[in-house]
Amino acid sequence: MVDIKKSWDKIAEHYNNRYEISCEVVHYGPLCPGEDKLGLLGDIKGKRVVDLGCGGGQNAVALAKMGAEVTGLDLSTEQINRAQMLAAEHKVSISFRQADISSIPFIENHSFDIAISACSIAFLDKIDTVFREVYRILKPKGWFILSDMNPLQYLLDETEDGVVFNNPYRQQSLPINWSWEFEELEKSPRFRHYVRMISDYVNSLIDAGFIIKKILEPESTLNTPHAGFSREIMEEYPYIAKHIPITFVIVCEKV
Ligand SMILES: C[S@@+](CC[C@H](N)C(=O)[O-])C[C@H]1O[C@@H](n2cnc3c(N)ncnc32)[C@H](O)[C@@H]1O
């Protein structure tokens, strides 16, 4: 049985120590250029921004440093604790709350100018529900910037014969269970990702009411604020990073 909240609670401290994620530049995912290169957000001074699945709070801190009024939500109590400590360390004021982003009734309609979510949505079983919630809490003309790991990453393996598919790439949410090893932990916590096609994300966003402004699949690079993560992925999966962009980004707007 996989309990995502418990697993994130267990690894939160070690994860944030291991990956040294930047608090200076908003990141979109491993091996992906950051906001300094992609320039998706524009001037966010005074704007209300919500970070969905904010993890240890690095993006929330970077957004606050850009002058935004930030709220961070995450399922893991330990991630939220670490995010609060990080915000205090960087002397920025951010409102953090432990919550499952599938259901956020405590947030009023039309509350935010921008919603951002990096590398969190693939942990969720049902994306339709989340995207409807994001649509609801955004102001009209509000933007949702969603990034996640390229689904092909979970489906490709390297063998003596080259890169092969270990699972088909098709239109259905495919649950993949895996363990995350940390030398500080005796037992490796179990995780589950739901692998879906990029068209599933796009169509689900359209069904929620969004218009898609841009889809980015930037070439994988080591020059990213997600430095630790990137190096590890380059070492562990060089064949994937060579062949596909590791992260994709979708920019959409509430009409
Ligand atoms: C890979 S981390 C990414 C964190 C952060 N967005 C970043 O890019 O650094 C994934 C985060 O998603 C959170 N998460 C997973 N399922 C969630 C859910 N249903 N609701 C809210 N957060 C969730 C986890 O607790 C974890 O902190």
Q: What's the predicted TM-score (pTM) here?
A: 0.96
CB 224 near ligand 1, within 6 Å: no
Q: What percent of the chain has pLDDT over 70?
A: 97
Question: pLDDT value at position 224?
Answer: 72
Question: pLDDT value at position 20?
Answer: 84
Among 75, 78, 147, which is best to mutate for testing ligand 1, by the most ligand atoms less than 8 A from CB? 75
| pLDDT tens, position by position, 33-82 | 999 999 999 999 999 999 999 999 999 999 999 999 999 999 999 999 99
- Residue 137 DSSP SS3: helix
| Cα–ligand 1 centroid distance for 162 (angstroms) | 32
Strand ranges (E), 172-209: 174-179, 190-195
CB 4 near ligand 1, within 6 Å: yes
Question: pLDDT value at position 242?
Answer: 80
CB 55 near ligand 1, within 6 Å: yes
Residues of the chain with pLDDT under 70: 227-228, 236
| Cα–ligand 1 centroid distance for 42 (angstroms) | 24
* Tokens 């239109």 found at: 171
Among 51, 120, 191, which is best to mutate for testing ligand 1, by the most ligand atoms less than 8 A from CB? 120
4-150+197-254 to CATH, choices 3.40.50.2000, 3.60.15.10, 3.40.50.150, 3.30.1360.70: 3.40.50.150
CB 120 near ligand 1, within 6 Å: yes
| pLDDT tens, position by position, 137-157 | 999 999 999 999 999 888 888
Within 10 angstroms of residue 171's Cβ, the number of other Cβ atoms is 10
Q: What's the chain's Rg over C-alpha atoms? A: 17
